[in-house]
Structure 1
């Protein structure tokens, strides 16, 4: 796109490759939102935005970043869309487009939140919601998303394509107030899923994916900018920050998994912990309580404990008991069993764990927790077999190595 001298940034303002990628990634969902609102046709709009981003990546390093990057991207993407619609003779859509050659008006609103709601449409499965959010809002390529979920690129491309088809007729607008709370929970669940997949990869050779956790935090910040008064949005962001702060200590020098109790707390990210605690402290007294705030409060108790032995496990038990009222389920019960074992002893923890055997027997984490509690109870043979069973059931290579090592130490 040809720019007038007034639209070009001075040479000193030209962004480096990394800065340019960050700039484009931040603007991409806003530009896509503008086009989808104006023209519909999510698929065509996304293709046009990708072409505009590519044009910017080629031109801006030499021509300079425009004074209004978003307006530039909207203009280029709109023209690409016009060309595409012309070639397909889509008259009913062309009537909605700007006059060819005319500069589209500079967008004054940010519809990113609306785009979040669209990607988290209830007609899609949770995994597909996460994939579409990473694609449309996060700006990740199909190959990157496929790698994150450990599926072939062609498989992920089909999933994303089907997802776009399923929401093709959906209105690009915020849900009604009566529906917004439920739909927001879907958005937050998608972000939570993305973060968890990055923090504890479900399979493969890596324990975590720092790119996914960073992207989940960035996207959650974007939602909070749109909804600063929502306590659960703030709670989820605090939970992510407090959890991600521990990541530097989760792997040892040889790449082995280091459990929470054995981590070097001086390696935790103090800035993230401070931000998470401040955010949670400001939110809890004024916002209606919810499960993400409670999980963040649990993470804060761990983060603020000087050592594993000084952790306030009684407070954690109380928080898990309260969390079960908001979000009853076997995984919350499993976590509560660990906390109860720290307060009342391993036998009480094992009794609670047994209550969810039917729901979680196929999950490696149930067997890993059982092994840990049996080890605390002095049942070395039982713990050894439980560690081995957990190792057989996990698809994560670092977890397999850790669990196998724990079993071998009990010989």
Structure 2
């Protein structure tokens, strides 16, 4: 059985944090200390650099390629020339020059060049290295997030573009997240960028009437990214902590604009509670550790305390939208696990009741599965099997739960058959190894 129902549903395949379009080129060119440093800079600053360039030039169609060229140049030059004192500023300078070169080659270059060059010189230091233009990086990053969530782009197109530009996730990994081919996803992202340019969608903060819808879209994007990092369905990792951390950062960016926005407050609480257990979910040998067996000393108590304060705060005290309510109920379920002094003290009856509320809000089969697991803990494995009946959910997790319930009931033959079927359907290496060990123990 996978980790008990405090888990987020595994909605999509494994989505490791990527380095963007040029990740493969970069990996092939540079290794060693400089390469590791470049990887850190790109992971930490890709979204910030994209935001600054978009804010300066208003040409989203040029930003990604320019940053990719800058990363490739760094991978070639840093191993021989050494890493610059300010790596992010170095990348920003090179990318800026690429965009200027492209603009000069366009038909409009003659009219635009003097303004662009003057603006660029004002934001460079004496060595020609771009610096933070007026301390507006965070503001520009927020504008970039909101630009990607414009309703004209559609939910999937906007989410994919935000993952690509703001979080630096590779097109290949975004395609796996959305269960489409890489060329299909590349075409969607390209169409979204072209639509922004062609329609003149503004790079700015939307009006007060349009902002709530945009923040809902931001929350959806962050939730999608977090789920992909927290519960990958394939690959050789049980979690992608970096991606989950980036999703948390994305929610915080939104909250910097509207600190008490319920949908973002509820989502941040949910993600913090889940993320707090990241160091305890895998043991030193790389094997899965179920929630009852986790070393709770490894849980990040500061994150649990922050999430608890958010759940008790005024933002969630009033009426909530359906999306905010779903996140809030999931967060309260996670809090039941996080705040229980021991596994034996977990209030499974309260957890079952919260899952009933979640299902009333329209939650899908993943919530039904988690509810069945909670019922098995509260009322026994036979009740859990009854709750699984009629569950319309594919994949290995319902079968793994069924195998666990049958094992507890002493039906080892039925459990072995369920485990074998689950193993065949499981594409996550660590989960598959765990299921194989459970089956072998029979």
TM-score, normalization: structure 1?
0.77
1:23 & 1:401 partners in 2: Cα distance? 34
CA deviation vs aligned residue, 1:292-317 (integer Å, no higher than 9, x gap): 12211111110111221110112211
CA deviation vs aligned residue, 1:273-297 (integer Å, no higher than 9, x gap): 2222233232565354421122111
**Match of residue 4 from structure 1:** none
1:341 & 1:405 partners in 2: Cα distance? 21
- Cα RMSD of the aligned pairs, angstroms, is 3.9
1:149 & 1:251 partners in 2: Cα distance? 26
Q: CA deviation at 1:100?
A: 2.8
**Match of residue 371 from structure 1:** 403
Contact 1:39 1:97 in 2 (8 A): no
Q: CA deviation at 1:370?
A: 2.0
Q: CA deviation at 1:386?
A: 1.6
**Match of residue 413 from structure 2:** 381
Please give the secondary structure, in 2, of the residue aligned with 1:255: coil
CA deviation vs aligned residue, 1:310-336 (integer Å, no higher than 9, x gap): 101122112212222333322112111
Pairs aligned (count): 388
CA deviation vs aligned residue, 1:321-370 (integer Å, no higher than 9, x gap): 22223333221121112112222333333222213x3x30x221121222
Matched, 1:205 2:236: yes
Contact 1:146 1:152 in 2 (8 A): yes
CA deviation vs aligned residue, 1:237-296 (integer Å, no higher than 9, x gap): 222221122122212333221211222222222232222223323256535442112211
**Match of residue 336 from structure 2:** 301
**Match of residue 3 from structure 1:** none
Matched, 1:100 2:117: yes
1:135 & 1:319 partners in 2: Cα distance? 35
Contact 1:98 1:104 in 2 (8 A): no
Q: CA deviation at 1:201?
A: 1.8
Please give the secondary structure, in 2, of the residue aligned with 1:253: coil
Q: CA deviation at 1:396?
A: 0.6
Matched, 1:404 2:436: yes
Q: Note the residue ranges of structure 2 that are not aligned, 5 or more in a row.
A: 1-33, 124-132
Query: Paired residue for 2:245, among 214, 233, 255?
Result: 214
Contact 2:265 2:315 in 1 (8 A): no
Please give the secondary structure, in 2, of the residue aligned with 1:101: helix
Q: CA deviation at 1:395?
A: 0.8
Q: Note the residue ranges of structure 1 that are not aligned, 5 or more in a row.
A: 1-15
Alignment map for 1:248-259 (pairs within 5 Å): 248-259=279-290
Matched, 1:89 2:107: yes
1:97 & 1:34 partners in 2: Cα distance? 20
Greater shift, 38-47 or 182-191, is seen at 38-47
Contact 1:230 1:287 in 2 (8 A): no
Contact 1:74 1:104 in 2 (8 A): no
**Match of residue 5 from structure 1:** none
